[in-house]
Amino acid sequence: MQRLIISVVMILSLAACSSQKTQTSPMVAHRGHSNVSGGVYLEKDHNRPEPKNAQLATDKEKFIDKMVKKHGFDRQQLRDVLAQANKLDWVINLMDKQAPKSGPVTGPNGAWIRYQNKFITPSNLPKGVDFWNKYNKELQQAYKQYGVPPEIIVGIIGVETGWGRVMGKTRIIDALTTLAFYYPRRAQYFSNELEDYLIMCRDEGVDPFDLSGSFAGAMGYGQFMPSAFRNHAVDFNNDGHIDLWDPVDAIGSVANYFKAHGWQKDKKVAVKADGQAPSLETGFSTKYSVEKLNKAGLKAQSSIDGHKEVSLLSLDMGDRYQYWYGLPNFYVITRYNHSTHYAMAVWHLGLAVKDAR
């Protein structure tokens, strides 16, 4: 779900993004001393007072206790860091608006067409071609090393940030502390992300106040959350640092993420089906035998790589529903963002850029 939240903001921002190239990575511009004893590297102090809220103070102290005992952080410095972070009320409001909603199905209305058109446009595809051409060597190396083809990596980075043009302007420390301590619905998740973020900053010698990203704390070209950074990010350019604001590290990290989640090299993603099956549940998490789908009136238009079970995907085309058989690689894309539309857009955008080259 966190990836879905992040991508909604990227969708809304993409049309207005700047065409200027990204400047020096903030992790390079603000990197100080690595391996700071007992804490994170700080370029300056802001001296903001601790808010006078007993429950908030208790929650922060519990978090600080964990960081001290588990990771060896300096207690007083961490108190100062958390006191200097801003509470962002607009982030809480935006999170509430993105909470899952359900309602009656009213029939096809073109939802997929509108979603796809956010990304696959005549003006956007050349930007993807430029990115692919510039980093073709690294994309091919990622394919060789991790088995993930360039079009999938290009599709992810294109959907998430428009190939680096929209990476977010919210201070990550502010976003994560706001959601960890002022947003009970998902406080535990964001507390864990704040933990990983502070460890990342300590390990990389970067001031935690100098990095910006999405309103939910996602970072860099591929919009990794801090936990994804710690678990899957790689130093793909071999400079001794992992930097998701560096496109080469981002390429390798996205590929590693997909490999870790089960990407099958040179296997199909999904196959379009003939027929209609309005009574069947659809979605990337469904599972049907091919035999059952055949009996329901559906038939794959091409080989499904020998799979006996598939998910049933439905795309709202406005005047009808278009059905697809989702294969394991499609499910892997949804591990980045739990959305059928998102995964299909990533795949189709990558293929469109490939064709445009």
- List the catalytic residues: 160
- Tokens linked to 3: 């990836």
Closest C-alpha among 178, 35, 279, 227 to residue 219: 227
- Tokens linked to 105: 């199905």
Distances, alpha carbon 312 to alpha carbons 5, 101, 174, 283, in Å: 24, 22, 40, 6
Contact assessment for residue 20 and residue 57, using Cβ atoms and an 8 Å cutoff: no
How far apart are alpha carbons 273 and 312 in whole angstroms? 9
Beta bridge partners of 288: 310
Closest C-alpha among 28, 40, 44 to residue 248: 28
How far apart are alpha carbons 153 and 139 in whole angstroms? 8
How far apart are alpha carbons 110 and 315 in whole angstroms? 9
- Tokens linked to 102: 């359900």
Region at 62 (left for phi over 0; alpha for psi -120 to 50; beta for the rest): alpha
Closest C-alpha among 250, 270, 254, 252 to residue 315: 270
